[in-house]
Amino acid sequence: MTSTPQRLGFIGLGIMGAQMAGHLMAAGHSVFVHTRSKVPEAIASSSATVCASAQAVAEQADIIFLMVPDTPDVQAALFADHGVAAGLTPGKVVVDMSSISPIETKVFAQKINALGCDYLDAPVSGGEVGAKNATLSIMVGGAPEVFERVKPLLALMGKNITLVGGNGDGQTAKVANQIIVALNIEAVAEALLFAAKAGADPARVREALMGGFAASRILEVHGERMVKRTFNPGFRIELHQKDLNLALSSARALGVTLPNTATAQELFNSCAAHGGKGWDHSAMVRALEMMANFDIGQQPA
């Protein structure tokens, strides 16, 4: 438990948000919550106060966390009728932990600042497992003094917590993270598909590679998913598509070419076209398998 219990808000109780809000409650804080969908049973039966709107959350809490899917969702949660902005009073802090547009984040921050409140963008990496185990990596953009005020709360949800720079820079770091993750998934998928088609046991190939320079968390976790065909989502393909859209649109605005990011997005697009937008992003391998007409689990002809 942190030294002083605080009045906190949490908006968005999906796969990750519910876990993250739970850690704040477990530390002894009073947590006011709101979500568009049904409140998870674990939250409904907890000490959380369920509010009818985001405005009501902001009226009750001094620091308000958001964890929703996309840029329009954050905009709605903040500025729609009965949104967070309508419930703010000067001195409060809004912390957006969603993964959204760095450009729009700067606009949102300016609007919140104009109300006499502070704003941090603090997107996360680590997926459902990281949210459950409070081991998320958290990339933060905002003023240093606001970061220091909120950091003890972020530490209840994550381990690697870094102030990257000003507002928007946290989101930029998250986009960069998603580029790296997507390209690593693609590399692992190609390698294991190649090995399986060549007649080697992909599980043993993965085990052998884990001891060398090719070792990575993607090879460890998602390589195992590919071999075992466990594509129930920890992080859905449609969400990674959203993140790569942010990368590619931002790259166009910056005049930067991201050719391999574009390829990874096309592979995700292929999965989605085959009904896989809800698959785990490790299922990118299935797009490569369809092109090869061969699954990793098959025996080569």
Q: Which of the residues are catalytic? A: 174
Alpha-carbon distance of 110 to 189, in angstroms, equals 42
H or E element at residue 160: strand 158-165
Yes or no: say if 227 and 257 are a contact pair by the CB < 8 Å rule.
no
Residue 262 and residue 207: Cα distance in Å, rounded? 29
Pairing of strands 7-11, 30-34: parallel
The span from the CA of 119 to the CA of 286, in Å, is 40
User: How far from 99 is each of 15, 58, 87, 229, 276, CA to CA, in Å?
Assistant: 14, 21, 23, 27, 21
**Structure token digits, residue 250:** 């931002």
Please give the DSSP secondary-structure letter assigned to residue 283.
G
Residues pairing with 66 in the sheet: 11, 96
Buried b (16+ CB within 10 A) or exposed e, 55-72: bbbbbbbebbbbbbbbbe
Q: Are 160 and 138 in contact (CB under 8 A)?
A: yes
The per-residue DSSP string of 97-148 comes to -S---HHHHHHHHHHHHTTT-EEEE--EESHHHHHHHT-EEEEEES-HHHHH
**Helix (DSSP H) and strand (DSSP E) numbers for the chain:** 15, 9
Q: Which is nearest to 112 in space by CA: 143, 70, 67?
A: 143
